[in-house]
Amino acid sequence: MSDKSSCLSWRGKPFLHFVGSELGEPFIAFFSSLAVIMKVLLINGSPRGKGNTYIALSEVAKALQNNEIETEIVSIGAKAVQGCIACGKCSETGRCVFNDALYNEVRAKIETADGLVVGSPVYYAGPNGSLCALLDRLFYSSSAYLQYKPAAAVAVCRRGGASATFDRLNKYFTITNMPVVPSQYWNSVHGRLPGEAANDAEGLQTMRTLGNNMAWMLKNREAGNLPLPEREAPIRTNFIR
């Protein structure tokens, strides 16, 4: 009997170990040949469910689909969204104390998604308040589901503030160990009235490039199948003077 040992990994984590058997290699080859369906969740932060942010995100989604990646756009809608109250309970339970349908829905979808795109209309040179209210609670309570998933922000405005909005949204990703997907420009699309974004040819091309780049990153990650990086125990310092 051979003393070979082999291991099948799933998304960078050991999944099945074969010890002392020749069976492992063909089994691994078979499983590796199966197509893995990956999915990207796109969050539309605009209260206008089918406005300009939706147009921008749809262009990203189309490019992803052209690369055999599944997509889903979730709109946060126009209802009031609860913000974070800094109670700290999520650090004990892993969930936000507010058990609202929007939080639960988006959190469940993030859990199973392989990548994340967050789209926001620009309000006073930043992401809109309802979106930030949701993202604060999601990211504070759900980093375990978010980390290492490729992510991108998309800002949609009439004229100015897209870069500041883009920067602000990227802050959620880069504090959560999420690789940020690039494009050919800072991800923004221009338009005021719903539908106007469809006329921004450069903005939409930037969206398509973003979708193609995200698909490329996801496929590289899947093909490489490397274990996730080792993490040090967190060190926290508070600067009080």
Ligand X SMILES: Cc1cc2nc3c(=O)[nH]c(=O)nc-3n(C[C@H](O)[C@H](O)[C@H](O)COP(=O)(O)O)c2cc1C
Q: Which residue in the set 186, 194, 205, 212 belongs to the binding site for ligand X (CB under 6 A)?
A: 194
Three-state SS at 10: strand
Nearer to ligand X, 77 or 194 (CB): 194
What is the distance between the alpha carbons of residues 72 and 215, in angstroms, rounded to a whole number? 14
Residue 192 within binding range of ligand X, rule CB under 6 A:
yes
Helices (H), the chain: 24-33, 52-66, 90-93, 101-112, 129-141, 143-146, 162-174, 201-224
- In whole angstroms, the minimum distance from the beta carbon of 165 to ligand X comes to 8
Three-state SS at 153: strand
Nearest residue to ligand X by CB is 51
Which residues in the 153-182 window bind ligand X by CB under 6 A? Answer: 156-161
Nearer to ligand X, 6 or 196 (CB): 196
- In whole angstroms, the minimum distance from the beta carbon of 118 to ligand X comes to 13
CB 48 within 8 A of CB 123: no
Site string for ligand X, 116-155 (x = CB under 6 A): -----xxxxx------------------------------
Nearer to ligand X, 68 or 202 (CB): 202
CB 63 within 8 A of CB 215: yes
What is the distance between the alpha carbons of residues 236 and 220, in angstroms, rounded to a whole number? 33
Site string for ligand X, 52-71 (x = CB under 6 A): xx------------------
Query: For residue 22, what are the CA distances in angstroms to 18, 163, 172?
Result: 9, 55, 46
What tokens were used for 135?
Answer: 């993202």
Binding residues for ligand X, rule CB under 6 A, total 19
Residues near ligand X (CB under 6 A) are 46, 48, 51-53, 121-125, 156-161, 191-192, 194
